[in-house]
Amino acid sequence: MFRILAIVLCAVLFFAPPAWADSTKLFEYHCSGCHVNGGNIVRRGKTLKLKALEQNGYTTVDAIANIITNGKGNMSAYKERLTESEIQDLAQYVLDRANQNWK
């Protein structure tokens, strides 16, 4: 019994999707409606491109997480829809993608 449980646990850990896969899915579900490929269909200058993030003071994971959590202007707050962990993952994902020019 324990041998089967150990094998199943190892398989789950070995074949678990990478962390970015969850972040990608979160972004696609919650963010891509307005921010396709890091753009912004609502407000042109408020993109998730690195230059715009820098100009608007969102250069850290914490700063990005704060706007995801609390929203601002046309941006909805997600504190009631996402966990703190999901918000942190999304913020890291946005910063990583911006640093890669959304490729």
**Band of the pLDDT at 46, cuts 50, 70, 90?**
confident
Q: Does the pLDDT of residue 18 top 90, yes or no?
A: no
CATH of 18-99, one of 3.30.70.3450, 3.50.50.60, 1.10.760.10, 3.40.50.1220: 1.10.760.10
Taking the C-alpha atoms of residue 98 and residue 103, their distance in angstroms, rounded to an integer, is: 9
Residue with tokens 């972040």: 23
The CA-based angle 101-40-26, given to 5 degrees, is 75
pTM as predicted: 0.78
Taking the C-alpha atoms of residue 31 and residue 41, their distance in angstroms, rounded to an integer, is: 11
**Band of the pLDDT at 4, cuts 50, 70, 90?**
low
Which is nearest to 64 in space by CA: 40, 98, 16? 98
Q: Are 37 and 94 in contact (CB under 8 A)?
A: no
